[in-house]
Structure 1
Amino acid sequence: MKQILDAILAGDTTAEEYAALELPDHYRAVTVHKDETAMFEGLESRDKDPRKSLHVEDVALPELGPGEAFIAVMASAINYNTVWTSIFEPMPTFGFLEKYGRMSPLSKRHDLPYHVVGSDLSGVVLKTGAGVHSWKPGDEVVAHCLSVELESPDGHNDTMLDPEQRIWGFETNFGGLADIALVKSNQLMPKPAHLTWEEAAAPGLVNSTAYRQLVSRNGAGMKQGDNVLIWGASGGLGGFATQYALNGGAVPVCVVSNEEKADICRRMGAELIINRSAEGFRFWKDEHTQDQSEWRRFGARIRELTGGEDVDIVFEHPGRETFGASVFAARKGGTIVTCASTSGYMHQYDNRYLWMNLKRIIGSHFANYRESWEANRLIAKGMIHPTLSKAYPLEQVGQAALDVHHNLHQGKVGVLCLAPEEGLGVRDVAMRAAHLDEINRFRGI
């Protein structure tokens, strides 16, 4: 691994020299263990500690298959799916690996008693498998997390509809929180040249997810002038949704939980902000009963901010806690587009407000390759910016995951893998200088 890192840090290593590098038979990775899936039984979700379940250890390098690539991972990031994996909710991920392992002799590699996690990376191509023509050793890349087989016709209009669609590093093994990752070549995209390794790794999953959910025709199809209600507008996902609304000529209505997060939204350029904690919004009277008077108060607050207009689109991801209010708040004919459910999967809403007002609920899950490529292109052009607030070394990945689990972070939390320190990997210094304030907007918060 030292020879690999030295080659990357040299900055002038040729493709031929990269191809000649010897790969190790083992590498450092972040794992969860199959024999520990019951370790948190009886505890509430909040009391489950990723620092106890995430291990940093050496694992065997898997076989490289056709259409695949080994990537030297310089940096990765924490997503909520890694938190779910680490606390074994809503179920242990080993069921995903077992199912994938039954698909083919090659996919059997993924069914192991340990799971290498992580769904983001930036790094350098080390080796490609048979049939890979677009990428070569030495290419600096980022990876999106869509893994597809595309042997069924169902995925050939939208690859997210492939019956064998999976999220890499969550529903597959050999993820990005490691020194080496195994990816399909059609997960790869060019690393934005003006970003450091840790900055380039951070947007992947959430940036692509926000793009499909809000901008793509597969999601809400946002247009200029739309009022867009964004929950958690300064967070890892919401921070990109806020940028896409502003960049696309829409009007974000940003919902945050404290004034510090409100300031982040203002720095992004948003003006309409609801601090739900300061304004005391409580959408549930108790565990079983929602408070519709709070829905109405919330809707009135939105109209006060927008000059009397309801929102055209609700960007939903908290789930159970907010979904009833989201359905209520959308305008007649409006759209509620939802991914994830960080506050609970069992959503409840009053269907009268949906059917009688001709509203739509759209489910959105990650993004296809084209959508991910477009989202990454906007990062590379300096039109959308990373939301990285902090980066941990790989040895402290448990603390990084705990930060996200307990919502102690802003934007995205990065993880240095092979990168020995922050600030490395910038190739376009002039472009970086032009966007430095935006790149550092979330830093240190």
Structure 2
Amino acid sequence: MHRLAEFLLDPSAGPEDFARFPLPDTYRAITVHRAEAGIFAGIPSRERDPSLSLHLDQVPVPEVGPGEALVAVMASSVNYNTVWSALFEPQPTFRFLQEYARRRPEGRRHDLPYHVLGSDLAGIVLRTGPGVTRWRPGDSVVGHCLVTELDHPDGHGDPLLDPEARIWGYETNFGGLADLALVKSGQLLPKPAHLTWEEAAVSGLVNSTAYRQLVSANGARMKQGDTVLIWGAAGGLGSYATQYVLAGGGFPVCVVSSPARARLCRAMGAAHVIDREAEGFRFWTDDATPDPREWRRFARRVRELTGGEEPDIVFEHPGRDTFGASVYTVRKGGAVATCASITGAQHLYDNRYLWTRLVRIVGTHFAHHREAWEANRLIAKGRIHPTLSALYPLQETAEAVRAVRDGLRPGKAGVLCLAPSAGLGVTDQELRIRHLPAINRFRTS
């Protein structure tokens, strides 16, 4: 792989050179093992150690099939689905791979004793399979994580409705936390020229998810002037939601968990910030009992900040901890747009506030290809910025996963794969210089 890494940095290499460069037999990859899927049985989630389940393995290079591309991964990132994969919750991801193999012939090669994780990448195309015309070897790309087949009519209005829709690197194999990755060619997008590899790698999943959840016609349909309550507004997903509200002419109400994260939200341009920890908001009296008094106190605090206005939209992703407060706090006729549920998928809320106030709950899940393309375009134009706050080498991915699980850093955790060092990959210095303070905002937090 050292020869490949050196070759990737050669500015004189052209498409023919990339197509001819000999592929290695194996590559480094972060994996979980089927044989270890039960190692955390009976252990609470918070006590599970991802260093016990995550491995840095040498695995065989997969064959590139029709409509696919093999990408040399310069950098990747950790998302919460990597946390779930590493902790084997809510179920081992090998069940997804088995289902893929059962339903589709091409899925059989994904059903292996190991699962290569990771749903983000920034890198360079090495090979393309039959039928690929949009991309060629040598192209600098980022990847989004939706894999669709579109054999079923339900997917042709919204590809997320395709019964065969899957999340790459979570529900499929050969993900991006590796030196090489196998993707459908439709997952690829142009790499933003003003960003380094590691900056470009962190946005794919969270940026596209925030775009669909807030902006898209498939999400909350945010409009100019909307007040939007954003939980975890300086986190991996919330930091992009905050930017979309501001870029779209809305008014974010940012909920965070520390003074440092409050400062980040204000630095992004948010005027209304609630430090949930400092103000002592606890929405449950015990594990089984929500506390409506805290919902009311929280809603009053939001109205104090907004001059009496209730949120038009709540950007929900914590799930169990906050969902009851979200339904109570949103305005009459408003929308609670929800995904992820990282604190638990079993939500409790008072349905009176849903039905009598005509509130909509909008479920969203990642984004389809067009939404991902539009979200990436906004990054490429410098309107939305990566929120990279920490960078790890591939061999320290378990530490990165632990940091994401424990919420130790704001923004996103990046992972260097084939890139030998940080700071490489920029081809538009002029645009970069214009936006450098915003690009670095989370790195200096």
TM-score, scaled to structure 2 = 0.99
Cα distance in 2 for residues equivalent to 1:11 and 1:223: 43
Cα distance in 1 for residues equivalent to 2:209 and 2:95: 24
Cα distance in 2 for residues equivalent to 1:297 and 1:5: 55
Residue type of the partner of 2:185?
A: S
Cα distance in 2 for residues equivalent to 1:4 and 1:420: 11
**Stretches of structure 2 lacking an aligned partner (at least 5 in a row):** none
Cα distance in 1 for residues equivalent to 2:6 and 2:59: 22
Q: How does 1:288-307 map to 2 (within 5 A)?
A: 288-307=288-307
Tell me what 2:150 maps to.
Answer: 150
Matched, 1:286 2:297: no
Cα distance in 2 for residues equivalent to 1:443 and 1:435: 14
Farther off after superposition, 223-232 or 287-296? 287-296
Superposition RMSD on alpha carbons, in Å?
Answer: 0.7
1:444 shift after superposition: 4.1
Tell me what 1:7 maps to.
Answer: 7
Matched, 1:102 2:99: no
Deviations 1:354-408 (A, max 9, x none): 0001010000000000000000000000000000001100010000000001111
Tell me what 1:248 maps to.
Answer: 248
Cα distance in 2 for residues equivalent to 1:234 and 1:420: 29
Matched, 1:377 2:385: no
Give the secondary structure class of the aligned counterpart of 1:336. strand
Cα distance in 1 for residues equivalent to 2:213 and 2:367: 8
Paired residues of 1:77 and 1:413 also in contact (CA < 8 A): yes
Tell me what 1:325 maps to.
Answer: 325
Give the secondary structure class of the aligned counterpart of 1:331. coil
Give the secondary structure class of the aligned counterpart of 1:311. coil
Tell me what 2:170 maps to.
Answer: 170
Tell me what 2:415 maps to.
Answer: 415
1:10 shift after superposition: 1.3
Cα distance in 2 for residues equivalent to 1:133 and 1:362: 36
Cα distance in 2 for residues equivalent to 1:192 and 1:135: 16
Cα distance in 2 for residues equivalent to 1:304 and 1:406: 31
Cα distance in 2 for residues equivalent to 1:161 and 1:337: 17
Instruction: Give % identity.
Output: 64
Tell me what 2:398 maps to.
Answer: 398
Deviations 1:405-427 (A, max 9, x none): 11111100000000111000010
Give the secondary structure class of the aligned counterpart of 1:361. strand
Give the secondary structure class of the aligned counterpart of 1:333. coil
Tell me what 1:351 maps to.
Answer: 351
1:7 shift after superposition: 2.1
Matched, 1:71 2:83: no
Tell me what 1:123 maps to.
Answer: 123
Paired residues of 1:146 and 1:187 also in contact (CA < 8 A): yes
1:6 shift after superposition: 1.8
Residue type of the partner of 2:364?
A: S
Runs of 4+ off more than 4 Å: none
Deviations 1:13-60 (A, max 9, x none): 100111111111211100000010111112110111111111001001
Paired residues of 1:3 and 1:21 also in contact (CA < 8 A): no
Paired residues of 1:390 and 1:444 also in contact (CA < 8 A): no
Paired residues of 1:392 and 1:414 also in contact (CA < 8 A): yes
**Stretches of structure 1 lacking an aligned partner (at least 5 in a row):** none
TM-score, scaled to structure 1 = 0.99
Cα distance in 2 for residues equivalent to 1:444 and 1:402: 21
1:3 shift after superposition: 3.0
Paired residues of 1:154 and 1:163 also in contact (CA < 8 A): yes
Give the secondary structure class of the aligned counterpart of 1:13. coil
1:103 shift after superposition: 2.2
Cα distance in 2 for residues equivalent to 1:334 and 1:121: 35
Paired residues of 2:19 and 2:137 also in contact (CA < 8 A): yes
Tell me what 2:342 maps to.
Answer: 342
Tell me what 2:133 maps to.
Answer: 133
1:61 shift after superposition: 1.1
